[in-house]
Amino acid sequence: MLDLTRGADLWRRASSVLAGGVDSPVRAGKPVGGPVMVREASGAYVIDADGRRLVDYLMAYGPLLLGHAHPALTRDLDRAAARGTLYGCTHEEEVRLAERLRGHMPSLERIRFTNSGTESVMSAIRVARAFTGRDAVLRFAGNYHGHFDQALLDAGASANAAGAGPSGIPAGVARDTIVCRYNDLDHVDEALRAHGARLAAIMVEPVVGNMGLVHPLPGFLEGLRRRTERVGALLIFDEVITGFRLGLGGAQARCGVMPDLTTLGKVLGGGYPLAAFGGRAEVMAVLAPEGSVFQGGTLSGNPFCVEIAHRLLDVLEGDSGLLPRMRALGERLAEGLRSALRACDLRYPVVHDESIVDFMFRCSDRPHRNYDEAKQGDAAAYAAFYQEMLAEGVLLAPSQNEVMFLSAAHAEEDVDRTVLAARSALARMRERGVV
């Protein structure tokens, strides 16, 4: 019999000292019946507090493109630290990193480093407001941009903002936040008729990873570009998930639409707190000291995290086969899951893009396109699947809004084991009538 007492004891301790037991609400695992407490992690695996070795598809919600504790990102860190971990002054490697990023993403004419995706998006929005002299922002339901005021309200991931008052979001901020349906330009047009003249920016995940995996329909991003130009607003691409995971040029290189501003995080820092935002030089010029918008941070651009980002880019630039191998692994996982679902006569579309794989417990001939459709996913079925997979030694995200992230550390055997686990899990669920 599996002894799970250590994890349970640790969760009791966590709950009595951390608010809600966690530093980020999703980690409590409420939708799936409880948290997993982790002891350590390596490669494609985490070891939980009770010693279970789990194939990890959570991958810390996306940053760990190379897997846990990749040698390129852990080797000789004492030497990096010995040169000083924080200067409070601009340094050469920070400049070189910005140059490298701009080499991959030419829309980043000017860049600022921050410490989290939240900070990057929050700052990009302030820049857009100052540049346009307008207050309102149009966003899409089911996209997630971090935990600052204007990013919540109908956000995806595990945000669950319960309206302005109870969520601690000022009513004024809610009035300046216009939420539209993803992939629905008619809805955007309706909003623009009412609010176009006071719109500072349209902010969008160019491929969404926060309501499951959702692709933009052909013409959607191009349509947003044309509309922002027409109404005099900026277009912000939130590439915190897609940046470097979908290729070194991000989603924007693939779709050919140039945003005015871009936000980056997650993969860029390789699991360390580093993020960035940037865009057109003329727009970024509103930032102090050139302009009047203050934005900055004690830890921003620190040499330690910058070193990690260089190492990550060294790996990606030095091995042009790495992302294609991950794409092939993603395809293998997606195909395996499709066959596991077919074996149980279940019609849930499996979606795949590079190293991201996803399916919802929602019967349909086509993948969901927006948050209304994502919310039709059967949460109880997902919770049962999560628990069955955990019992099989596979760690999934504790919410159906999240996706499966592969890393360079996952091997074909891991994927094949996962597919077998899914077959057994789904068959047991079928027997019990859960699906």
Q: Is 153 in the site for ligand PMP (CB under 6 A)?
A: no
Q: For the packed helices 379-391 and 412-432, what is the interaxial angle rounded to 10 degrees?
A: 130
Report the distance separating Cα 129 and Cα 114, nearest Å: 19
The helices-and-strands tally (H runs, E runs) of the chain is: 15, 14
The answer to whether 403 and 358 are in contact (CB under 8 A) is yes
Of 48, 149, 238, 358, which lies in the binding site for ligand PMP, with binding defined by CB under 6 A?
Answer: 238
Which residue is at the shortest CB distance from ligand PMP?
Answer: 117
Task: Check residue 145 for interaction with ligand PMP (CB under 6 A).
Answer: yes
Among 254, 260, 252, smallest CA distance to 227 is for 260
Only segment of 113-121, 284-292, 355-363, 370-378 that touches ligand PMP (CB under 6 A): 113-121
Q: Is the dihedral of CA 49, 395, 332, 72 positive or negative?
A: negative
Over the window 319 to 338, marking each residue x when it contacts ligand PMP by CB under 6 A and - when it does not, the resulting string is --------------------
Rounded to 5 degrees, what are φ and ψ at 305? -70, -35
Q: Evaluate the CA torsion angle 291, 299, 278, 128 in order and state its sign.
A: negative
**Active-site residue, from 61, 144, 272, 386:** 144
45 is catalytic: no
> Least distance from C-beta 109 to ligand PMP, angstroms?
21
Catalytic residue (one of 45, 56, 260, 266): 266
Q: Does 117 bind ligand PMP (CB under 6 A)?
A: yes
Q: Binding mask 73-112 vs ligand PMP (x if CB under 6 A, - otherwise)?
A: ----------------------------------------
Which region, judged by CB under 6 A, interacts with ligand PMP, from 130-138, 205-213, 380-388, 392-400? 205-213
**The residue type at 402:** E
- Among 265, 278, 336, 377, the residue binding ligand PMP under the rule CB under 6 A is 265
Question: Total residues contacting ligand PMP (rule CB under 6 A)?
Answer: 16
210 is a site residue for ligand PMP (CB under 6 A): yes
Indicate whether 157 belongs to the interface with ligand PMP (CB under 6 A): yes
Tell me the C-alpha distance between 159 and 319, whole Å.
36
Cα separation, 78 vs 146, whole angstroms: 32
Q: Is 240 near ligand PMP (CB under 6 A)?
A: yes
| Cβ neighbours, 10 Å, residue 256 | 9
Strands lying side by side in the sheet with 261-264: 110-114, 275-279, 261-264, 234-238, 199-204, 136-140, 177-180
Whether residue 238 lies in the annotated active site? yes
Q: Which two tokens stand for residue 198?
A: 């006071």
Name the region of 183 (left: φ>0; alpha: ψ -120 to 50; beta: rest): left
Minimum distance from CB of 83 to ligand PMP (Å)? 26
In angstroms, what is the minimal distance from the CB of 273 to ligand PMP?
A: 8
Comparison of 145 and 423: residue with beta carbon closer to ligand PMP? 145
Note whether 276 binds ligand PMP by CB under 6 A.
no
23 counts as catalytic: no
- Greatest alpha-carbon span in the chain: 65
User: Segment contacting ligand PMP (CB under 6 A): 168-176, 238-246, 253-261, 427-435?
Assistant: 238-246
Do 260 and 235 touch, CB atoms closer than 8 A? yes
Summarize as ranges the residues that interact with ligand PMP (CB under 6 A). 61, 116-118, 121, 144-146, 157, 205, 209-210, 238, 240-241, 265
Residues known to be catalytic:
144, 238, 266
